[in-house]
Homo-oligomer: A and B are copies of this chain.
């Protein structure tokens, strides 16, 4: 099931390698001539996130930001604090570690998230 709004949103997300907010995305779409409404952007993002086609991330200012997934598989993010560029990293050893530590405390694991913020090589003063 793909609606017009979802196609617009996906196309715009494809041009961006870092996380974008719904509002930002809407502004860009409007700027490029699309007559889409903010509501539809939110609805499309929600549907795409539910389907696992985009990653969702809450910023510390409380907005949700979205990014097109490189893969549907489980992964974590390395986010550049300066330019926002992100790298997806798979981490089998981390998954194992998480399970082990949780078990040690009597917990079974349902889910986990890891996020690393740093500075990428292009933004480093070096």
Contacts and interface: CB of A to CB of B under 8 A. Distances in A.
Interface of A: 58, 60, 62, 64, 78, 80-81, 87, 89, 91, 93-94, 97-98, 101-102, 105-121, 124
B116 A87 contact: no
A113 B114 CA distance: 6
Nearest to A63: B62
Nearest to A62: B62
Contacts of A80: 107
24 contacts: A58-B62, A62-B64, A78-B105, A80-B107, A89-B101, A89-B105, A97-B97, A102-B116, A102-B118, A105-B120, A106-B121, A106-B124, A108-B119, A110-B118, A110-B119, A111-B116, A111-B118, A112-B114, A112-B115, A112-B116, A112-B117, A113-B113, A113-B115, A114-B114
Contact of A109 (B87, B107, B113, B116): B116
Give 10 closest A-B pairs by Cβ, nearest first.
A106-B121, A112-B116, A107-B118, A109-B118, A114-B114, A58-B58, A87-B105, A111-B117, A110-B118, A108-B119
